[in-house]
Amino acid sequence: RICRHKKVDHIPYGFSFADPRGSTFAAWRKQGLSKEQQEKWYEFIRENEWIGIGKTNLGPIPPFQEKVIEERGNIRIWVDGWGVKRMDAINQPTAGFQTRRYLEFPIKRLEDFEKMKERFNPYTAERFSPTEEENKQKIEDSYSSSLRKGGKQYWKNRINLCNYSDRLVRLQIPGLFWKARDFTGFEGLCTMIHEQPGLVHEMMEYWT
């Protein structure tokens, strides 16, 4: 209604990421949150139910090959699908929280970004069209189900659903600073803004 310049009775409200973590719920239960409130969480916080337009993979395609570099005790040093070298706990000490430390990011200079662009071609078919492997996955939880997000469906098959839905239709796209941070790390990006502003501009312009 907002996009069509029609009146609305309230500002849409919804979580951007996911449900509160299990350990967060546990703490809230001790502080007075009831079992019924937890079970009816979205109703309790009055979140507006939403649906997605379909699969939108905004990550690197193809992803970097994950590679374990070292494991010692409960520590694993590895390279993830974004090309980031990181250190994680193998067995996470707190349910729902991921203990990690970022060690090295793939983009340090313009030449690195030129190579990264090859993985962020907006016209790559897999970016919006679910693959056969993805269609075999069955996700039953309420947050990730196709009814709620449509993440495993092709957008052309959801046009009527989105046009006539009484739910919010939402598409989330990372902002310019967020995406550049994914490439360089927070500290790396802040340093680049001062020392390599041309590279920062190039990354943000490309993402735009």
Per-residue pLDDT at 194: 97
Owning domain of residue 78: 65-105
Kindly state whether residue 97 falls inside one of the protein's structural domains.
Answer: yes
pLDDT in tens, 101-138: 999 999 999 999 999 999 999 999 888 887 665 554 44
* Domain stop point among 105, 127, 154: 105
Kindly state whether residue 138 falls inside one of the protein's structural domains.
Answer: no
Residue 24, CA atoms < 13 Å, CB-side half-sphere: 8
pLDDT in tens, 133-181: 555 444 333 323 333 455 578 888 888 888 888 888 888 888 999 999 9
Per-residue pLDDT at 203: 97
Answer with the residue of higher pLDDT: 23 or 182.
182
Residue with tokens 């078919």: 125
Per-residue pLDDT at 41: 84
Mean pLDDT of 79-94: 90
Helices (H) and strands (E) in the chain, counts: 9, 6
Q: Which helix (H) or strand (E) holds 86?
A: strand 85-89
Kindly state whether residue 30 falls inside one of the protein's structural domains.
Answer: yes
Mean pLDDT of 184-208: 97
Kindly state whether residue 172 falls inside one of the protein's structural domains.
Answer: no
Answer with the residue of higher pLDDT: 97 or 203.
203
What is the full DSSP assignment across 125-164? GGGTSPPHHHHH----STTTSTTTT-TTS-GGGGHHHHHH
Kindly state whether residue 115 falls inside one of the protein's structural domains.
Answer: no
Kindly state whether residue 28 falls inside one of the protein's structural domains.
Answer: yes
Instruction: Please determine, for residue 65, whether its predicted confidence score (pLDDT) is greater than 90.
Output: yes
pLDDT in tens, 92-103: 777 666 778 999
What is the distance between the alpha carbons of residues 21 and 24, in angstroms, rounded to a whole number? 5
Burial (CB < 10 A; 0-12, 13-18, 19+), residue 82, is: middle
Closest by alpha carbon to 66, among 48, 58, 78? 78
- Looking at the structure of the chain, the number of domains it has is 2
36 shares a domain with 1: yes
